[in-house]
Amino acid sequence: MAELSLDGVSVSYAGTVALSDVDLDVADGEFFTLVGPSGCGKTTTLRTVAGFETPDSGQVRFGGREMTGVPPEERDVGVVFQNYALFPHMTVAENVGYGLRFHRVDDPEARVAELLSLVDLEGFGERDPTELSGGQQQRVSLARALAPEPDVLLLDEPMSALDARLREELRREVRRIQTELGITTVYVTHDQEEALAVSDRVAVMHDGRVEQVGTPRAVYREPATRFVASFVGENNLFDGEWADGGVRVDGTTFEVAGVAEASGHATLCVRPEHLRRDAAENRFAVTVEQSEFLGEATRVHCDWDGRTVVWRTDGVVPDRGAEVTLGFAPEHGRVL
Ligand code: ATP
Best residue among 13, 22, 156, 206 to mutate for probing ligand 1's pocket (most ligand atoms within 8 Å of CB) is: 13
In a domain, 104, yes or no: yes
Single pTM value for the model: 0.92
Residues 94, 214, single domain; the answer is yes
The protein residue with its alpha carbon nearest to ligand 1, atom 11, reads: 41
Atom of ligand 1 nearest to the CA of 19: 14
Report, as an integer, the average pLDDT of 205-223: 97
CA-to-CA dists, residue 77 to 28, 31, 38, 100, 320, angstroms: 13, 14, 24, 13, 54
More confident call, 108 vs 288 = 288
Q: Is residue 166 predicted with pLDDT exceeding 90? A: no
Residues 221, 244, single domain; the answer is no
pLDDT in tens, 268-301: 999 999 999 989 999 999 999 999 999 999 999 9
For the chain, what is the domain count? 2
CA-to-CA dists, residue 122 to 90, 115, 119, 127, angstroms: 17, 9, 8, 11
Q: Which domain holds residue 277?
A: 236-335
Q: In CATH, what number is assigned to the domain containing residue 31? A: 3.40.50.300
What is the CA(41)–ligand 1 centre distance, in A? 6
Domain termination site, one of 226, 260, 279: 226
Residues 186, 275, single domain; the answer is no
pLDDT in tens, 19-32: 999 999 999 999 99
Q: Which of 263, 280, 265, 276 is nearest to 314 (CA)?
A: 276
Specify whether the CB–CB gap between 111 and 99 falls below 8 A. no
Q: Is residue 262 predicted with pLDDT exceeding 90? A: no
Q: How far is Cα 214 from Cα 210, in angstroms, rounded to an integer?
A: 11
Residues 189, 306, single domain; the answer is no
What is the CA(207)–ligand 1 centre distance, in A? 10
In a domain, 231, yes or no: no
Residues 135, 196, single domain; the answer is yes
In a domain, 38, yes or no: yes
Residues 139, 199, single domain; the answer is yes
Q: How far is CA 304 from the centre of its chain?
A: 31
The protein residue with its alpha carbon nearest to ligand 1, atom 2, reads: 38
In a domain, 247, yes or no: yes
Atom of ligand 1 nearest to the CA of 43: 7
The protein residue with its alpha carbon nearest to ligand 1, atom 30, reads: 13
What is the CA(75)–ligand 1 centre distance, in A? 23
Residues 166, 142, single domain; the answer is yes
In a domain, 102, yes or no: yes
Best residue among 10, 20, 42, 231 to mutate for probing ligand 1's pocket (most ligand atoms within 8 Å of CB) is: 42
**Contacting residues for 80 by C-beta, under 8 A, at least 6 apart:** 138, 141, 142, 145, 153, 154, 155, 156, 158
Q: In CATH, what number is assigned to the domain containing residue 247? A: 2.40.50.140
pLDDT in tens, 84-106: 689 999 999 999 999 788 777 88
Residues 31, 83, single domain; the answer is yes
Enumerate residues lining ligand 1, CB below 6 A: 13-14, 16, 18, 36, 38-44, 190
What is the CA(236)–ligand 1 centre distance, in A? 29
What is the CA(160)–ligand 1 centre distance, in A? 16
Residues 85, 13, single domain; the answer is yes
Domain termination site, one of 226, 246, 280: 226
What is the CA(42)–ligand 1 centre distance, in A? 8
Best residue among 35, 44, 56 to mutate for probing ligand 1's pocket (most ligand atoms within 8 Å of CB) is: 44
Q: Which of 198, 202, 221 is nearest to 212 (CA)?
A: 202
Residues 200, 252, single domain; the answer is no
Domain termination site, one of 226, 252, 268: 226
The protein residue with its alpha carbon nearest to ligand 1, atom 26, reads: 13
Specify whether the CB–CB gap between 246 and 290 falls below 8 A. no
Residues 215, 242, single domain; the answer is no
Residues 185, 312, single domain; the answer is no
Q: How far is Cα 165 from Cα 85, in angstroms, rounded to an integer?
A: 22
The protein residue with its alpha carbon nearest to ligand 1, atom 21, reads: 18
Report, as an integer, the average pLDDT of 216-222: 96
The protein residue with its alpha carbon nearest to ligand 1, atom 1, reads: 38
